[in-house]
Amino acid sequence: LFVLLLCLGAFSGLVAQNPIISGQFTADPTARVFEGKVYLYPSHDIPSPVERLQEWFCMEDYHVFSSEDLVKWTDHGVVLSQSDVPWGDAGSYSMWAPDCVYKNGTYYFFFPASPKGEKGFRIGVATSDTPFGPFKPLAEPIAGVQGIDPCVLLDKDGQAYLYWSGRGLNVARLKDNLTELDSAPVLVADVKDGFKEGPFAFERNGKYYLTYPWVKDKTECLAYAMSDSPMGPFEYKGIIMDQSPTGCWTNHHSLLEYKGQWYLFYHHNDYSPDFDKNRSVCIDSLFFNADGTIRQVVPTLR
Ligand code: FUB
């Protein structure tokens, strides 16, 4: 059956190749469906132009990519750069993992960055009329949020929730404007439990899923927990993807249903085996069991 499916894919021209983007490094993929297409919002790893980041993550801007078949991807170019962020430190190269959601005619792009004159990270919002930007950042970051890796869940009743990684994994309700918190942050997972960063949350069949990188022997596998409420408490359920076969320290991901199939978007360092801060986005199909639990995904390598 596998060979047959491969042949069918080859004849229809739809055989995906991991990593899915070449020509630039892409990491931390959040994939969303807008206007019938898949839009990919990754961070953009670059070799560092500054000495202090030679061995660390270095990101100056964001590109957005779109596809109708998950094979051919259009690069929409730079949609937001560190020099555009009024509150950001324009020399920090800290435009880490983003997210994007749509509400009432506006696309809201959530991104972490280092603020001017402050240590650590804040989370900002930039808006656009289109899913492919360019995105215009608001004057200030979201008040009351310190951390990285924003993920927004828009629930069926219209209520939005912001998840992020600070000291542990936090969630708070957002106001209707999606730019202010509407509740105190709640800690839903603690670093001492192995959780570190990169939360992704979604709802399926009335259950809320919280998926996240989970540190196992120093590198990250992807794990998940489930709840009856977006604010938790979440019950740990298992591993979605084991540690990187390419030795990448981080993994960061999102899950998406497109044309009736679920996919896991994640990253490894396939194009940069000697330096795992230059990463590349990959995709694999993902399947649920009848009880709503997730079957483990084995990464398709390059
Ligand atoms: O890309 C920089 C950081 O690495 C992200 O914010 C984390 O989730 C990890 O992937």
Q: What is the ipTM score, two decimals?
A: 0.98
Given this model, what pLDDT does residue 7 score?
46
User: Which of ligand 1's atoms lies nearest the C-alpha of 28?
Assistant: 10
At position 167, the amino acid (one-letter code) is R
Tokens for 15? 């055989």
* Mean pLDDT along residues 107-120: 97
Name which residue sits closest to atom 1 of ligand 1, judged by CA: 96
197 ligand 1 Cβ < 6 A: yes
Confidence band (pLDDT; 50, 70, 90) for 15?
low
Q: Residue 97 CA to chain centroid, in angstroms?
A: 6
Confidence band (pLDDT; 50, 70, 90) for 45?
very high
Given this model, what pLDDT does residue 8 score?
46
pLDDT, tens digit, 9 for 90 and up, residues 206-220: 999 999 999 888 899
96 ligand 1 Cβ < 6 A: yes
Q: How far apart are CA 32 and CA 235, in angstroms?
A: 25
Which contacts (CB < 8 Å, 24+ apart) does range 222-231 have? 222/251, 222/253, 222/264, 222/266, 223/194, 224/294, 225/189, 226/292, 226/293, 230/153, 230/155, 230/159, 230/161, 230/171, 230/201, 230/203, 231/161, 231/171, 231/173, 231/186, 231/188
pLDDT, tens digit, 9 for 90 and up, residues 132-157: 999 999 999 999 999 999 999 999 99
pLDDT, tens digit, 9 for 90 and up, residues 75-100: 999 999 999 999 999 999 999 999 99
Question: How close is the Cα of 220 to the center of ligand 1, in Å?
Answer: 11
Q: Check 45, 99, 197, 270 and give the catalytic one.
A: 197
Is residue 270 within 8 Å of 302, Cβ to Cβ?
yes
Tokens for 168? 């542990």
